[in-house]
């Protein structure tokens, strides 16, 4: 889906076609050597990415075909974020994209809400630019093959086919709210070939405040009834700061306390269309009802 031209561009490919398309991407050579040095510093990553300005990059020698916003939900994962930025910037630049990386930081000690942070990131990113597509990216997943294109097609794409922590075995994300909403919208999840959609997951222990949601199955059971009633149209939050250091845009937000199970989770794949109406409060974003479908890619399980 193209936000700019309000039209759908279909790209059909087989595994063979998929490989051939990458010949058009200068420098996208395939398998990437990943390094996770404990001594890596922010200054080193900045020095290697001098062409990135306030979190954004545009190729100097050509016009990018697509403009892409990378949305990374975040809290207390600074080292993981550093590793991801170290690998992701050159990865995206080899694909000759116009892109920006948005780190959506959840303030406070309330339970981490990745889905709502993605909605927040979507809304905040559109304040900067009318992005063609959006990548939902976990902070601890690093792509292993730069032929895994971070570009939009006519259907949502699950970029992670396998990861090191599961022996690169594909595990369908069947019991997932995002998956259900895509299906209910009448859309199909597409994936790159298994040899291309490979990721390394940086090991970590489960964070405090990011425990397994005990109400998960009950919420999934309500998906068919509630998917048209919640989403961006029920997403409220308070923007605390928006900072623009060299490598990313850091958006710190207060998303409020978790709702009870009787209230619905905030999840982006819904019927989406931004309204030109101003928010009721300049510091509180409230999203009106939505009507148009937007395509997003996602990098998580």
For 232-264, the pLDDT digits (tens) are 888 889 999 999 999 999 999 998 876 543 343
Quote the mean pLDDT of the chain. Answer: 76
- How far is it, in rounded angstroms, from Cα 77 to Cα 79? 6
Token pair recorded at residue 288 = 């009106």
Write the DSSP string, 192-251: --TTTSEEEEPP-PPPTT----TTHHHHHHTHHHHTTTSSGGG-EEEEEEEE--SS-EEE
**The overall pTM is greater than 0.85:** no
Residue 6, pLDDT score = 32
Q: How confident is the model at residue 165 (pLDDT cuts 50, 70, 90)?
A: confident
Q: Give mean pLDDT, residues 190-208.
A: 83
The pairing of beta strand 249-254 with beta strand 236-243: antiparallel
Does the structure show a pLDDT above 60 at 118?
yes
Domains observed in the chain: 15-175+188-208+239-258+295-299 (3.90.550.10)
């Amino acid at each position: 889906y193209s936000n700019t031209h309000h039209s759908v561009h279909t790209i059909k490919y087989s595994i063979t076609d998929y490989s051939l398309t990458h010949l058009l991407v200068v420098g996208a050579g395939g398998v990437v050597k990943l390094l996770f040095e404990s001594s890596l510093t922010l200054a080193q990553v900045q020095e290697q990415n001098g062409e990135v300005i306030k979190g954004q990059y545009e190729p100097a020698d050509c016009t990018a075909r697509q403009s892409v916003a990378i949305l990374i939900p975040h809290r207390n994962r600074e080292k993981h974020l550093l590793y991801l930025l170290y690998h992701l910037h050159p990865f995206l630049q080899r694909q000759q994209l116009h892109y920006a990386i948005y780190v959506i930081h959840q303030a406070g000690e309330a339970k981490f809400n990745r889905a709502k942070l993605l909605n927040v990131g979507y809304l905040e990113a559109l304040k900067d630019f009318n992005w063609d597509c959006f990548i939902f990216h976990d902070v601890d997943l690093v792509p292993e093959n730069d032929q895994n294109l971070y570009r939009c097609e006519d259907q949502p794409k699950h970029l992670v086919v396998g990861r090191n922590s599961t022996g690169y075995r594909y595990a369908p994300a069947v019991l997932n709210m995002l998956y259900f909403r895509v299906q209910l919208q009448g859309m199909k999840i597409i994936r790159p070939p298994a040899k291309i959609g490979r990721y390394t997951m940086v090991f970590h222990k489960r964070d405090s405040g990011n425990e397994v949601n005990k109400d998960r199955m009950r919420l999934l059971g309500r998906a068919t009834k509630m998917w048209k009633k919640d989403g961006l149209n029920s997403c409220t939050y308070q923007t605390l700061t928006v900072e623009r250091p060299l490598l990313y845009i850091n958006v710190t937000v207060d998303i409020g306390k978790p709702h009870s199970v009787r209230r619905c989770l905030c999840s982006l794949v819904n019927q989406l269309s931004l309204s030109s109406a101003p928010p009721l409060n300049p510091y509180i974003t409230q999203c009106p009802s939505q009507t148009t479908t937007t395509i997003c890619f996602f990098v998580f399980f």
